[in-house]
Homo-oligomer: A and B are copies of this chain.
Amino acid sequence: MNDIEVKKVIRRAIEEDIGTGDITTDNMIENGRKVEGVITVKEKSVVAGLKVAELVFKEIDSEVKFEHMKNDGDLVKEGDKIASVWGEISSILKGERLALNFLQRMSGIATKTRKYVDRVKDYDVRVTDTRKTTPTLRDFEKRAVSLGGGHNHRMGLYDAVLIKDNHIKSVGTIGESIERVRGKIPHTTKIEVEVESIEGVKEALDNDVDIIMLDNMSLEDMERAVKLIGGNAISEASGSITLENIEEVAKTGVDVISVGALTHQIESIDIGLDVK
């Protein structure tokens, strides 16, 4: 994550929530009284977003002190105190909801990722996210995936080639698609191809791609594909991966399993802030 970008998002979020002013707090609370707020997790989870939460409070009031009692990525249990904030009560009250909104979502993603990762921890395989992220918050969500023990897939359409079904249909063949793109992209960029059959795997291998995405293949075909690839490309399983079937998929020997659900099903973790 790039702090300059993160702060821009936070400022927009503050504008969204506070707008022309927090009319409850501004009209009720006198400045001067400082309080401590303690942030507590209410269910077992992997914490993610503490640094973001800190930046939220600092952006609202640079005088606020934020103490990390746990670190991003830590596994915590119900009742664990993960951070405390100390400052003007009005600053704490204004930042509370927004800080929690980031924390709860990011921790939700990290926690879910951890569950997927744990299921396949005995296999030599990576669990990655996809581009199915919340628009404008991809960076936050990919960070949460990392904190949960997962890995990131490409950041966007600009940093790796992924030739999909619709591209191939439009160009004609896998070979022709790869040839067109290979001559133009930077030599620092990898090429991934999405295939749906063993035929596709062969064609991709013949064209010397870096990564082969096995899209919605049966477990048997996946296993055959992995053998066929034999280490000459990275194999990536994709499509309809669930907590239930991920171990079966890992058993096929694929190198990477990409899981859309990590970010398009978001179950926020229950986290609260109590002012003392």
| B9, B94, B187, B265: the one within 8 Å of A211 (CB) | B187
Quote the shortest CB–CB distance from A264 to chain B (angstroms).
4
Asked if A205 is at the interface of the complex by the 8 Å CB criterion, the answer is: no
Contact A188–B169 (Cβ < 8 Å):
no
Say whether A71 faces chain B, with CB atoms less than 8 Å apart. Answer: no
Contacts of A13 in B (CB 8 A): 135-136
- Neighbouring B residues of A242 by C-beta, 8 Å: none
Answer whether residue A153 sits at the interface, using C-beta atoms and an 8 A cutoff. yes
Copies in the assembly, this chain: 6
Are A29 and B170 neighbours in the complex by a CB distance under 8 Å?
A: yes
Residues of B within 8 A of A211 (CB): 187-188
Say which one of A72-80, A177-185, A222-230 lies at the interface with B.
A177-185
Contact B170 A33 (CB under 8 A): yes
**B264 near A268: Cβ-Cβ < 8 Å:** yes
Dominant SS at the A interface?
mixed
A153 near B33: Cβ-Cβ < 8 Å: no
A236 in the interface (beta carbon within 8 A) = yes
A43 to chain B, nearest CB (A): 13
In the complex, whether A218 has a CB less than 8 A from a CB of chain B is no
Cβ contacts under 8 Å, A14 to chain B? 2, 4
Contact with B along A124-146 (1 / 0, CB 8 A): 00101001111111110010001
Residue in B25, B146, B153 whose CB lies within 8 Å of A157: B25
> Does B159 lie within 8 Å of A159, measured CB to CB?
yes
* Contact B192 A157, beta carbon cutoff 8 Å: no
Instruction: Give A15 to B247 CA distance when docked, in angstroms.
Output: 36
Contact indicator A28/B171 (Cβ below 8 Å): yes
Contact in complex: A27, B97 (CB < 8 Å): no
| A101→B160 contact, CB < 8 A | no
Q: Do residues B153 and A188 form an inter-chain contact, with CB atoms below 8 A?
A: yes
Within A227-276, the residues touching B (CB, 8 Å) are 234, 236, 255-256, 264-268, 275
What are 19 A-B contacts with C-beta separation under 8 Å?
Answer: A1-B20, A2-B19, A18-B157, A19-B157, A23-B157, A23-B158, A23-B159, A24-B162, A89-B166, A101-B131, A101-B132, A102-B135, A136-B136, A136-B137, A153-B188, A154-B189, A159-B160, A187-B256, A190-B190
A: residues with CB less than 8 A from B are 1-2, 4-5, 9-25, 27-29, 33, 35, 59, 89, 92-94, 96-98, 100-102, 104-105, 126, 128, 131-139, 142, 146, 151-164, 166-167, 169-171, 177, 180-181, 184-190, 192, 210-211, 234, 236, 255-256, 264-268, 275
